[in-house]
Structure 1
Amino acid sequence: MRIVSENKRKALQNLMNDQGIISALAIDQRGALKKMMGEKGTQAAMEEFKELVSEILTPYASSILLDPEYGLPAAKKRDANAGLLIAYEKTGYDATKPGRFPDLLPIWSARRIKEEGADAVKFLLYYDIDEPAEINDQKHAFVERIGSECAAEDIPFFLELVSYDSKIEDVKIKEYAKVKPHKVNDMMVEFSKPKYNVDVLKVEVPVNMDYVEGYGTEAVYTKEEAQQYFKKQSESTDLPFIFLSAGVSAEMFQETLRFANEAGSDFNGVLCGRATWKDGVQVYANEGVEKAREWLQTQGKANIDALNKVIQASASSCFEKIK
């Protein structure tokens, strides 16, 4: 059980539902969203689509994650009961050298994010537990600095961890599926250490469900093995942790959460992005604002309603882990 300050506790409550579960909507995508929009991906269009998502879907979410580059107008459109997380990192990573090193947005800080009305700071880190110490030590120090900054501002720190293997280019292939449980679960052990001042981990599920027996065309794990990896993930941290959707379909993400629950995972909710609103991007780009609004009010809402039902039935309260 982690002890948090009164200010952090109140901020975390703003991000949860009444049961202490985080059912958050993520639309802090920048590079990925611009790519999805193609030639329509202008500053104005990116801002407008985020505003639509925020306005229409936050009445059904406990909170929303946005970025400061395109998302601040959307923050003002969110439902009065929805909390706010703001991303601190630049989109992507440094591809000019090994290590997938991150960087922070240069005119932002934890203080400025807090002054913008955010309840929490979110930072995304790409991490390969097996890379050399000269790479990972730099990442450890980077996260320590952000954690110290958030502690000084007394604002919750959400650390999003995305695994990779420096020797395997495609994380969707069978070879990566074999090592993914180790990559995901062991990095959670590392960043649960108190020195990082992390309050909530946002993480991948520990397996690729396309390679679980009975779920995909080729099995890397039996159902029992996959369940054990989910159980081990829960045992890898004493922090609240929530799942990211990693761009999978709404149906697959919901099925994955059910599987996690059956495996005994004590995950504490989701920060779900593309699985909820992805198909609405092309509607917006090809057919305009009103058709996109219509899609979000119908299919987008249906996606988030279905996800909320699964979360309510399967996630655990954050208050089992913090006080």
Structure 2
Amino acid sequence: MREVSEKKRKALQNLTDEQGIISALAIDQRGALKKMMGEKGTQYTMEEFKVLVSESLTPYASSILLDPEYGLPAAERRDSNAGLLIAYEKTGYDATKPGKFPDLLSNWSARRLKEAGADAVKFLLYYDVDEPAEINDQKHAFVERIGSECEAEDIPFFLELLSYDSKTEDTKSKEYAKVKPHKVNDMMIEFSKPKYNVDVLKVEVPVNMDYVEGYGTDSVYTREEAKRFFKEQSESTDLPFIFLSAGVSAELFQDTLRFAHEAGSDFNGVLCGRATWKDGVAVYANQGMEKAKEWLHTQGKANIQALNNVIQETASSCFDKIK
């Protein structure tokens, strides 16, 4: 179990539901959301859509993850009972050299995010456990600095980890599916080390469900193998950890959570974005704000409530892992 300060504990209570589970809504997307909006993706429309999502869906979420570039108006319009996470990283990564190196938003710090009302700081890192030490050691130092900054401000640090293989471009391929369990679970072992001061890990599931026997047209793993990888993932960390939806459909994400629970995974909730609201983007871009609001209050609400029902059946309290 990890020991946290009283301030961090209170902040985590703001981010969780009454059972200590994180049922958080993520809409910190910037580049991806702009791409989804196409030519409609301006500063104004990005801000407005995030406000619509926040107003419509935070009454059903324990917290919301936003970015400071387009998301601060949405933070102001969230439900009073919803906690707030704010992203610290720039969108994307440095594509000019190997390593998918991250960068921080130039005008922000953990202190400033806290002053903007954040209950926690979120940082996204692309990581390949098998890349050379000269690349990964730089990433280790980078995360150490953010962890130290959050520790100094006494604010929870949520580290989002996205795996990749420097030799395989397509992370949705069958080739990548074969190495994904190793990539995901081993990086969780690394960033669970106390030197990083991480409080909660936001992670992928350790398999590509499209390649699990019975879920897709082709299989890489039997159901039992896939369950074993979920169990190994759970045992790879003593930190609370939550799953990201990785843009899959709402139905598949819910099925995945049930599968994880069945496998004995001791996960502590979700930070789910596109699986909840992505179909509303086209409605907003093509039919306008009122139609988007209507979609969010019907289908968007149905998506998040269905997910909440699954989370309550499958996830466990963060505070079981915190003292």
TM-score tier by shorter-chain length is over 0.9
Alpha-carbon shift at residue 236 of structure 1 (Å): 0.3
Q: Which residue of 2 aligns with 1:264?
A: 264
- The alpha carbon displacement at 1:260 in A equals 0.2
Rounded to whole Å, the distance in 2 between the matches of 1:93 and 1:224 is 35
User: Which whole-Å deviations, capped at 9, do the CAs of 1:26-80 have from their partners, x for residues lacking one?
Assistant: 0000000000000000000000000000001000000000000000000000000
Q: Distance in 1 between matches of 2:318 and 2:90?
A: 28
Distance 1:96 1:319 in 2: 41
Match of 2:2 in 1: 2
1:72-114 CA-partner distances (Å, limit 9, x unpaired): 0000000000000000000000000000000000000000000
Q: What are the superposed Cα offsets for residues 146-174 of structure 1, whole Å, 9 maximum, x if unpaired? A: 00000000000000000000000000000
SS in structure 1 of the partner of residue 160 of structure 2: strand
- What SS does structure 1 have at the residue aligned with 2:161? strand
Q: Which residue matches 1:227?
A: 227
Superposition pairs of residues 34-183 of structure 1, within 5 angstroms? 34-183=34-183
Distance 2:147 2:271 in 1: 20
1:301 is aligned to 301
1:318 match: 318
Q: After TM superposition, give the deviation of residue 193 of structure 1 in Å.
A: 0.1
For residue 119 of structure 1, report the CA deviation from its aligned partner.
Answer: 0.1
Q: Map Cα deviations across residues 230-280 of structure 1 (whole Å, 9 max, x no partner).
A: 000000000000000000000000000000000000000000000000000
TM-score, normalised with respect to structure 2: 1.00
Aligned residues: 323
Unaligned runs of 5+ in 1: none
The one-letter code matched in structure 2 to 1:35 is: K
1:202-255: CA deviations, max 9, x gaps? Answer: 000000000000000001000000000000000000000000000000000000
Equivalent residue number for residue 215 of structure 2: 215
Q: Distance in 2 between matches of 1:50 and 1:319?
A: 30
Residue deviations 1:110-142 (CA, integer Å, cap 9, x gap): 000000011000000000000000000000000
Gaps of 5+ in 2: none
Question: C-alpha distance in 2, partners of 1:105/1:116?
Answer: 14
* 1:206 corresponds to: 206
Distance 2:278 2:46 in 1: 13
Cα RMSD (Å) of the superposition?
0.2
1:97 counterpart SS class: coil
Partner residue, 1:236: 236
> What residue is the counterpart of 2:255 in the other structure?
255
* In 2: Cα distance, 1:299 partner to 1:131 partner: 42
